[in-house]
């Protein structure tokens, strides 16, 4: 897992091990390491959003928990792969059928959330067929969950950056600037 020292990278993509940079951010963005166009996404982060790139090693949920134990955030953004009812973070795939296997780890996320924190999920089609995964995630974290079902900003790709599925009536802030991302996140493929 790597913590980026500055969310305004401007073509600097120097990575530092977690723990080497102290931050005062109230928002954090976690990225699956294999998300397409990662440098563009990182460069497009809004000022003040802390960035973490998750190592793709099967411990992605624990990596999030470990970071969230260090301080509280009002918004947690997660950029992942997805398909209907599934969120893919590196080697970890969350579904409504397996989320309870990692329930104790996901409950640890609460340590880094304020009473009105929001978790914002950016990944293609995560809530397309059902909101069950999102509802369970909300119950485990006690956070409002918002999902972008069609994550890209290129109108010719018929997508957008808008966050469309909510567990509560909220208007969450976007983590990246709209111009930054011009292609969809790839659908999750499971072998």
Q: Tell me: the pLDDT tens digits for 109-160? A: 999 999 989 999 988 888 777 789 999 999 999 999 998 766 553 434 343 4
Residue 171 lies in a domain: no
Separation CA 63–CA 43 (nearest Å): 22
Q: For residue 169, what pLDDT is reported?
A: 45
Q: For residue 187, what pLDDT is reported?
A: 41
Q: Tell me: the pLDDT tens digits for 11-21? A: 333 343 444 34
Residue 86 lies in a domain: yes
Number of domains in the chain: 1
Which domain covers residue 150, as residue numbers? 27-165
User: Residue 141 in 3-state DSSP?
Assistant: helix
Residue 132, φ and ψ in degrees, nearest 5: -60, -50
Residue 173 lies in a domain: no
> What does the block give as tokens for 134?
């999102």
User: Position of tokens 């409504």?
Assistant: 96
Separation CA 11–CA 123 (nearest Å): 24
Residue 186 lies in a domain: no
Residue 40 lies in a domain: yes
Do 138 and 167 form a contact (C-beta atoms < 8 A)?
Answer: yes
Residue 67 lies in a domain: yes
Separation CA 110–CA 88 (nearest Å): 21
């Amino acid at each position: 897992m790597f913590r980026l020292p500055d969310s305004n990278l401007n073509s600097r993509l120097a990575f530092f091990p977690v723990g080497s940079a102290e931050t005062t951010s109230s928002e954090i963005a976690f990225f699956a390491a294999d998300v397409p166009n990662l440098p563009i996404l990182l460069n497009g982060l809004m000022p003040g959003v802390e960035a973490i790139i998750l190592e793709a090693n099967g411990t992605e949920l624990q990596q999030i928990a470990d970071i969230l134990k260090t301080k509280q955030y009002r918004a947690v953004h997660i950029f992942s792969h997805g398909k209907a009812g599934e969120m893919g973070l590196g080697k970890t795939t969350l579904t409504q059928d397996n989320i309870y296997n990692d329930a104790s780890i996901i409950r640890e996320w609460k340590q880094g959330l304020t009473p009105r924190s929001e978790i914002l999920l950016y990944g293609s089609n995560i809530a397309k067929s059902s909101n069950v995964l999102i509802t369970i995630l909300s119950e485990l974290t006690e956070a409002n969950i918002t999902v972008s079902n069609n994550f890209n900003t290129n109108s010719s790709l018929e997508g957008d950056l808008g966050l469309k599925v909510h567990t509560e009536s909220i208007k969450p802030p976007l983590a990246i600037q709209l111009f930054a991302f011009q292609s969809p996140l790839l659908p999750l493929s499971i072998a």
